[in-house]
Amino acid sequence: MARIVQPDAAGIAEAVDALRRGEVIGLPTETVYGLAADATNDTAVRRIFSVKGRPETHPLIVHVAEAIELANLTTEVTPLTRALTQTFWPGPLTVIVRANQKVSRAVTGGRDTVAVRCPAHPVAHAVIHALGCPVAAPSANRFGAVSPTTATHVVVDLGNDIDIVLDGGECEIGLESTIIDCTSDSLEVLRPGAVTVEQLHTLTATLSDSSEQRVSDGTASESRAPGMMQSHYAPRARLVLHEPGDHFDTDGAPVLDFSGDLSTAAHTLYARLRALDASHIALAHVIVPPPGGLGQAIRDRLTKAAAGG
């Protein structure tokens, strides 16, 4: 069974040693916990897929300690990508860029593009910095299940298959990063997150050549965003969604209200969905937030959770 390790100097050193040996570990970030391996070690990367039960064609996010390391992974950092990373890194933003030859195709699922993120969590930063190379990490849940936002969630899901989970406390944001495809002149949001479409519009409006519409959050196709289209983020409980102010009969089923403070709603979302399953609840009513700002990402996850239960 995996041990929860405190992230003091000894704990960080133990985690880094495990990564150097090609093991996979539970790693806290500000979004959700990741299942991390040395991104330059193909055997270790393959272990991520087998532990998670994830198809090897679903690409992983490469996590770097410093924004400057993006240049080591891509053929070209475009001005638009640079503006994005300068504004939002370290933080909950993943950019999809063209991969150079140094990026293992085991990480990209055979693609010529790579997803890169520079997390803001001090423990993630300390580990990647000490390791001295990027780590590949998907969310540390079993494939198709709700993402983990505490070290205990990781142990519950994957405790039999990994040795160490570094304890970074509850993830501050609680939702996976915003993913943006930066491989063309416009930005396409493949997964909404805590970096919002409104913030992206504000940024692109300040850039000199922003004559055209440069941010799209159209429905991403399965080929553009592999693994994001299916019923993901799903608890076993069936969820019935309602807009704020809707009248409905609960029939005695619990009601989860996410229409209040959006940061709190995101921070508690996955723990509350996990709690439904822990108490063997078959059906729950969910009040979704309005779609603006962080509300878009919360609605996205709840819609997927409701489709899969």
Of residues 190 through 219, those in contact with ligand TXA by CB under 6 A are: 190
Q: Is 96 near ligand TXA (CB under 6 A)?
A: yes
Q: Which is nearer to ligand TXA, 174 or 289 (CB)?
A: 174
Question: Closest CB to ligand TXA among 4 and 283?
Answer: 4
- Which residues, numbered 31-50, are part of the site for ligand TXA (CB under 6 A)? 31-32, 34
Nearest residue to Mg ion, using CB?
A: 139
Binding of ligand TXA by 114 (CB under 6 A): yes
By CB under 6 A, the residues from 160 to 189 that bind ligand TXA are: 176-177, 179
Q: At what angle do helices 151-158 and 262-278 cross, to 10 degrees?
A: 40
Nearest residue to 136 (alpha-carbon basis) of 119, 153, 120: 119
User: For the chain, what is the HEC assignment?
Assistant: CCEEECCCHHHHHHHHHHHHCCCCEEECCCCCCEEEEECCCHHHHHHHHHHHCCCCCCCCEEECCCHHHHHHCECCCCHHHHHHHHHHCCCCEEEEEEECCCCCCCCCCCCCEEEEECCCCHHHHHHHHHHCCCEECCECCCCCCCCCCCHHHHHHHHCCCCCEEECCCCCCCCCCCEEEECCCCCEEEEECCCCCHHHHHHHHHHCCCCCCCCEECCCCCCCCCCCCCCCCCCCCCEEEEECCCCCCCCCCCCEEECCCCHHHHHHHHHHHHHHHHHCCCCEEEEECCCCCCCHHHHHHHHHHHHHHC
* Interface with ligand TXA, residue 26, by CB under 6 A: no
Q: Please, what is the minimum distance in Å from the beta carbon of residue 249 to Mg ion?
A: 34
Q: Does 139 bind Mg ion (CB under 5 A)?
A: yes
Choices 7-15, 37-45, 224-232, 267-275 (CB under 6 A): range interacting with ligand TXA: 224-232
Residue 81, interface with ligand TXA (CB under 6 A)? no
- Decide: is 149 part of the binding site for ligand TXA (CB under 6 A): no
Residue 29, contacted partner among ligand TXA, Mg ion, none, CB below 5-8 A by kind: ligand TXA
**With respect to Mg ion, which residue has the nearer C-beta, 40 or 139?**
139
Partner in contact with 59, chosen from ligand TXA, Mg ion, none, beta carbon below 5 to 8 Å by kind: ligand TXA
State the nearest-atom distance from the C-beta of 221 to ligand TXA, in Å. Answer: 10
Is residue 254 within 8 Å of residue 284, measured between CB atoms? yes
Q: Does 135 bind ligand TXA (CB under 6 A)?
A: no
Of 5-13, 38-46, 58-66, 260-268, which segment contacts ligand TXA by CB under 6 A?
58-66
Site residues, ligand TXA (CB under 6 A): 29, 31-32, 34, 58-61, 94, 96, 108, 111, 113-115, 117, 137-139, 176-177, 179, 190, 225-228
Site residues, Mg ion (CB under 5 A): 139
